[in-house]
Structure 1
Amino acid sequence: MIDAVDRKILNILRNNARVPNAEIARTIGMAPSAVLERIRKLERRGVIERYEARVNPKAAGLGLTAFTFVHVEEGVGTMDTGQKLAALPEVLETHYTAGQAAYLVKVRVGDTEALAEFLQRIGKIPGVRDTNSTIVLRTIKETASIPLAAPPED
């Protein structure tokens, strides 16, 4: 599905999505037109989903990260509550999980008061039985980059 050249291109783009096409071409030793065509194919195939700016959460006033398990009273495989959780602006990730909780939600808010208010709103969603949150004290690593195997050395 993804060959060594695609991996090289993806590794460059995931570190800096704004790198010019000509620079990618120079780095991997290909013609700019060939690189552009490969990028377009990766986009059409859905390998590259989108390009986005990464915002510093603290600079945006969202310095508190929490992970919240949400227990629900809905049938297995029914994800209505998950859709409602995902629509909340504070929610960065919503995962349907196996185990005791139906959902694991990653949340960014300003402080513990904002988290308390957020949890009260979750509690009002029909079907939510209870929540269990863990507050992050310090983040050691956080990335949205998908790990790609390093391309083999030429």
Structure 2
Amino acid sequence: MTGIQNSQLDELDLQILDILIKDCRTPYLEIARICHVSGGTIHVRMKKMEDLGIIKGTRILLNLPTLGYDVCCFVGVYVDKTSSFSAVCDELSKINEVVELHLITGNYSLFAKLVCKNITDLQDILMNKVNVISGIERTDTLISLSQPIDRNIKL
């Protein structure tokens, strides 16, 4: 874990994280039972890991195709100059279909993950929302055909 010293996390913390990675809805008392400690201990450990920035919150994982979002794609973004990065990131963050944005090395300046309803929706998003952003020189789009692996890292 980058930035976290070994002395800040012990075996119990790692065990708690492992349980939550498998099912983040596991109640504290159930975690306590599995770990053979009190519910209060789990609460204190969770607060510690939140304060350290290890746990950033909780969120629901949606099955997007069942909600009508059938297309997942990745867009490599070429930014025209370094001074445009912040503005481009700000504008991309306003597009609901952009669910991840990464500053990367390699050919692209940024790499965005988009989800949308269909190819027509994707075309509209690219032409009328993404490619019109000042500072974007051009984009390359890669459409995901399937996602055979979807998991958190094992600790």
For normalisation by structure 2, the TM-score amounts to: 0.88
1:67-121 Cα shifts (integer Å, max 9, x gaps):
1101111226843212221231001110111222111000100111111011112
Q: Which residue of 2 aligns with 1:103?
A: 110
Task: Say if 1:82 and 1:96, in contact at 8 Å, map to a contact too.
Answer: no
- Structure with a larger share of its residues in helix: 2
Task: Say if 1:70 and 1:104, in contact at 8 Å, map to a contact too.
Answer: yes
Query: Which 4+ residue blocks in structure 1 deviate beyond 4 angstroms?
Result: none
> Aligned letter for 1:80?
A
Alignment of 1:22-37 (within 5 A): 22-37=29-44
1:7-50 Cα shifts (integer Å, max 9, x gaps):
11011112222211111011011111111111111112211101
> Aligned letter for 2:89?
G
Q: Which residue of 1 aligns with 2:65?
A: 58
Structure 2 runs not aligned, ≥5 long: 1-7
Residue 12 of structure 1 pairs with residue 19 of structure 2: yes
Task: Say if 1:69 and 1:105, in contact at 8 Å, map to a contact too.
Answer: yes
Structure 1 runs not aligned, ≥5 long: 150-154
Percent of residue pairs identical: 24
CA distance in 2, matches of 1:130, 1:77: 13
Q: What is the aligned residue count?
A: 147
Residue 74 of structure 1 pairs with residue 113 of structure 2: no
Q: Which residue of 1 aligns with 2:143?
A: 135
Q: Which residue of 2 aligns with 1:88?
A: 95
Q: Give the match's secondary structure for 1:139.
A: coil
> Aligned letter for 1:123?
N
